[in-house]
Amino acid sequence: MADVFIALGGNVGDRQKNMQAALAALAKGPVRVVARSRIYEAESWGPVPQGRYYDCVVLGKTSLPPRALLRELNKIEASLGRNRTREIRFGPRTIDLDILLYGRLQIAAADLEIPHRLMLKRAFVLAPLAEIAPWLMVKGIRISDALARLKSEARGVVPLPGDSTKT
């Protein structure tokens, strides 16, 4: 079983419901969830105006190899209404599931990059990740330090009131 960190995010429809459905689908399917962050709300960014995102990160265990896991994550996205062929890249979506880390593997391919190529530049990924694994090192940088470098952006990433980390 490999340790895997997965980021979840979405800003279309009932964000809370979509997030809970994605977490449940992960736990029923490809990943045994070991820990999860609270759900955070963050400003959106991208090529078009769009609503605020809900984001969280889970630490899980999986027996699937990376590409098989990616296929399963894409199936979960599709089951929750995501249609990659009709969406704008970095635009609004019901749910987005990204593999951040898969054990100590490093993969650099067109369809999959691990560690996720943008994770150290995104406060909305680093804040929930730092909550469950502040000690984690990625590319020689401690997650908590990477988040501190994004101090101004991180101020806009706030946990939802009343959300807990119970899975």
Q: Is 82 a catalytic residue?
A: yes
**144 within some domain:** no
Please tell me which residue in 36, 38, 55, 96 is annotated as part of the active site.
96
**101 within some domain:** yes
Please tell me which residue in 15, 38, 98, 122 is annotated as part of the active site.
98
Q: Is 14 a catalytic residue?
A: no
Torsion of CA 151, 152, 154, 155, to 10 degrees: 120
CB contact at 8 A, 101 and 5: yes
Please tell me which residue in 36, 38, 82, 122 is annotated as part of the active site.
82
| Backbone CA torsion sign across 75, 77, 83, 85 | negative
Closest to 135 in 3D by CA, of 127, 145, 150, 125? 145
How many residues would you count in the chain?
167
pLDDT tens per residue, range 86-119: 877 766 889 999 999 999 999 999 989 999 999 9
User: How many domains are there within the chain?
Assistant: 1
CATH number at residue 29: 3.30.70.560
Question: Residue 165's pLDDT is what?
Answer: 62
**100 within some domain:** yes
What domain range is 54 assigned to? 2-118
**76 within some domain:** yes
Place of tokens 């009343």: 162
Distance of alpha carbon 46 from alpha carbon 110, whole angstroms: 20
Q: Is 96 a catalytic residue?
A: yes
pLDDT tens per residue, range 63-84: 999 999 999 999 999 999 888 7
Q: Which two tokens stand for residue 105?
A: 């593997």
CB atoms within 10 A of CB 36: 24
Q: Is 55 a catalytic residue?
A: no
**160 within some domain:** no
**40 within some domain:** yes
pLDDT tens per residue, range 31-53: 999 999 999 999 887 777 788 99
**89 within some domain:** yes
- What's the mean pLDDT in 14-35? 94
**92 within some domain:** yes
Question: Residue 48's pLDDT is what?
Answer: 78
